[in-house]
Structure 1
Amino acid sequence: MQDPDPVDPNLEGFIWLTKHFTGKILYEYRNWENFRQDRILKIHDLKEAYFGTGHVAYRGSLYYQRAGYNQIVRYDLAKERVLATVKVRRSLYNGGNNYLYATEYNYYDLAVDENGLWVIYGSSRSRTSMLVSKVNPQDLRLEKTWNVSVDHQSYGNSFIACGVLYLVRNTTSKETLIDFAYDLYKKLPVTVRLKFTNPFQMNNMIAYNPLEKKVYTWDKGNQLTYMLLM
């Protein structure tokens, strides 16, 4: 993870990493070169365990799901402590049949784009409803929620770019498609059919970086970059 808007200039260029799908340890690296060499600058003890691969670093904080709870946590990377938590009501957050995607990696998927911080999750009221909430990055207040009608458990992952939600059909096959998109501000589906590749066939984290206009992924331990034409 890299913070596209670190606020604190001392955190510019830093990289953060979690290992495994749940745990309490966050690894901090000074830059990409140190990350490649696994030269750890700092190890954070998060106190509250995370779950999944949907965390993001944004505006000097790490945002993640508290394992086993319908809560999103804000952990300040400079102060090294939790500053806010929020309950995400009407959400699926535990249990083997309640995952957000076809893969068993996430109940919540946090995202950052040009508009700020988002959380994507499944509705506890309908299996064909994907909920997307705009999140205040300070107090984690859910400012607005969109109900997107789609069978989200038939998709492998998603990301948000320029206010548009994109769903990747499969993350375990080499060749797949982005064949669903929804403009959150216009409240309209977008016709899309884009080729997408998972070279190592286990792509369990997909995130858009609005600063660099790139999509980053973690595909079976390989860090990949997808260039975008904006």
Structure 2
Amino acid sequence: MIGTLCIFMLLSSTAAWGSVGLWSQRGVRNGTGGGSRDRCTCDAFLPSSTFPNRDLVVVEETAVEISHQLEHEMGKLEDYETKLTAYAERIIQLTVEIEKIEKNPHDYNDADMDEVKVEIKQVEALVKELQLSIASSTTVFESLHEQITAMVETLDRMEKTYDKNMVLVTRREYIKVQMELEECERRHQELFNPNIGSCAHSGIIRVSKPIVSQLNAHLNSGYKFGGWGKDSKPVPDRESMYWYSGSTSSSIFEIKFYTSYKNLILRNQFQHHNLQSGWSGTANNFIVRDNTLYYQINSPFGLAKLNFTTLEYESRVIAKASNRFSYTNTPNQNFDFAADETGLWVTYATEESSGLMVIAKINETSFGVEEEWQTSVYKPGVSNAFMVCGVLYAARRVDFETEEIFYKYDTRTKQESHISVLFKKFQDNFSNLDFNPTDQRLYMYNDGYYVSYHLWFNHTTKATVAPPFLLTS
């Protein structure tokens, strides 16, 4: 009887098991005396690298640490609310007392005046302390965003290299932490930036550090063209919806919708529209407004809109618009749609203007141009542009990691000016940059990554809803 012995030779120094990359089998005949025996040697080649448990543990520990920090910040926000109410009430009382003193100065002596002055100094000291606390919270949020960005990069790398199921639990923890941070920032914004939707300001004064959500839904950095964001005028029950469209060329063939930020991160779409059946477009400066996609088409060269509620398609031609002038970063971006607090816009250049940008206000019902404004900024020298409260803001590249908002044109006053508001990019190039009035954020599609920014505006005293002591002196 012939017996077979299989010896497993694990040709790897690792102690951890992974998936077997290759099996080979060798048969050896060895006869001794009157009998014989075959020996079958099976070689299992294990992967050269093992699953990085240490990296996963670090990510998990970081997630727990961030959660604790967020709990602490949420507690501070509740404390801020209490202090704001108390300080506001005390300021109102002091205002009433001062008015009484001004009306009847003879009824008060020096001691009364000194007492009021002391109280004012005390409130002033408390306000300064609160301002420092608020500033420290903002710094914490920025630090947490940096940590979360590092976490998602690690998870993406591990997901591509190792078993996705082993990373999924940690990714869920990361999403939970990111959602907590979003909620904490939302409450912070409601407390200290209550002017969302207000246009009573003199413009942008600051842009936050880039908030990197993740690589696109295709998990492919080759999808450098496209856009993402929120509906700037959401229909009922879709206020939390996000959209994304990406391509390896400057064209738009499809668009995906997600019910929430969490599902965007999980790449769990609820709608997917294929635009190749007669609806495809070009360029990347498209937006979603009122559940309608506004984008550029080439045949005929003009504007298009596709309503996802009714699936009605419509196009328009702007006779003067030229197809020779695009933004610095990407080709064919001749029309750039934008939406703000005042409605729908599109910008382009003409032969008549020699490439200078033209701003046009679009009537959303008729899909026609209501009014046009001529600017003095040369479109090929601009990396992208967006609208806020009827004001055009143009950006240009400074270096690999820095962008500058350098120009603004106010359609209300027909005044233009040069400004300098610097902000950082996650990657060098970007194909889409748009403002969303529902949350006062900039959304950038940055070489395949979802990136967003908070904006700060120079609100006038009249427009400021918060108590006056929150204003920087």
TM-score normalised according to structure 2 size? 0.45
Structure 2 equivalent of residue 54 of structure 1? 285
Structure 1 equivalent of residue 232 of structure 2? 4
Higher-helix-fraction structure: 2
Q: Which amino acid aligns with 2:232?
A: P
Change (3 A) 1:77 1:10: farther
CA distance in 2, matches of 1:28, 1:10: 13
TM-score normalised according to structure 1 size? 0.91
CA distance in 2, matches of 1:77, 1:57: 10
Write out per-residue CA displacement over residues 115-139 of structure 1, whole angstroms, 9 at most, x where no aligned residue.
Answer: 1000011112232421110001122
Contact 1:85 1:139 (8 Å CA) reproduced: no
Change (3 A) 1:102 1:212: same
Note if 1:41 corresponds to 2:270: yes
Displacement of 1:42 in angstroms is: 1.6
Provide the secondary structure at the position in 2 that maps to 1:169. Answer: strand
Structure 2 equivalent of residue 28 of structure 1? 257
Segment drifting more, 14-23 vs 133-142: 14-23
CA distance in 2, matches of 1:171, 1:13: 34
CA distance in 1, matches of 2:339, 2:398: 20
Aligned pairs for 1:135-174 (under 5 A) are: 135-170=362-397, 173-174=400-401
CA distance in 2, matches of 1:173, 1:132: 28
Segment drifting more, 28-37 vs 201-210: 28-37
Structure 1 equivalent of residue 311 of structure 2? 80
Change (3 A) 1:223 1:132: same
List runs of 5+ in structure 1 lacking aligned partners.
Answer: none
Change (3 A) 1:180 1:199: same
2:320 is aligned, of 82, 90, 98, to 90
Contact 1:168 1:196 (8 Å CA) reproduced: no
Change (3 A) 1:17 1:171: farther
Write out per-residue CA displacement over residues 176-203 of structure 1, whole angstroms, 9 at most, x where no aligned residue.
Answer: 3211111111111134111122221112
List runs of 5+ in structure 2 lacking aligned partners.
Answer: 1-228, 458-473
CA distance in 2, matches of 1:159, 1:172: 20
Structure 1 equivalent of residue 49 of structure 2? none
Structure 2 equivalent of residue 129 of structure 1? 356
Structure with the greater relative contact order (CA < 8 A, sep ≥ 6): 1 or 2? 2
Count matched residues.
224
CA distance in 2, matches of 1:103, 1:26: 22
Write out per-residue CA displacement over residues 40-70 of structure 1, whole angstroms, 9 at most, x where no aligned residue.
Answer: 2121133321111100111221111113432
Write out per-residue CA displacement over residues 130-179 of structure 1, whole angstroms, 9 at most, x where no aligned residue.
Answer: 11100011221100011112212111111111111111111872123211
Sequence identity percentage: 22
Q: Which amino acid aligns with 1:65?
A: Q
Contact 1:172 1:198 (8 Å CA) reproduced: no
Q: Which amino acid aligns with 1:156?
A: S
Note if 1:103 corresponds to 2:329: yes
CA distance in 1, matches of 2:393, 2:412: 14
Larger Cα-atom Rg: 2
Segment drifting more, 46-55 vs 153-162: 46-55
Q: Which amino acid aligns with 1:3?
A: D
Contact 1:128 1:149 (8 Å CA) reproduced: no
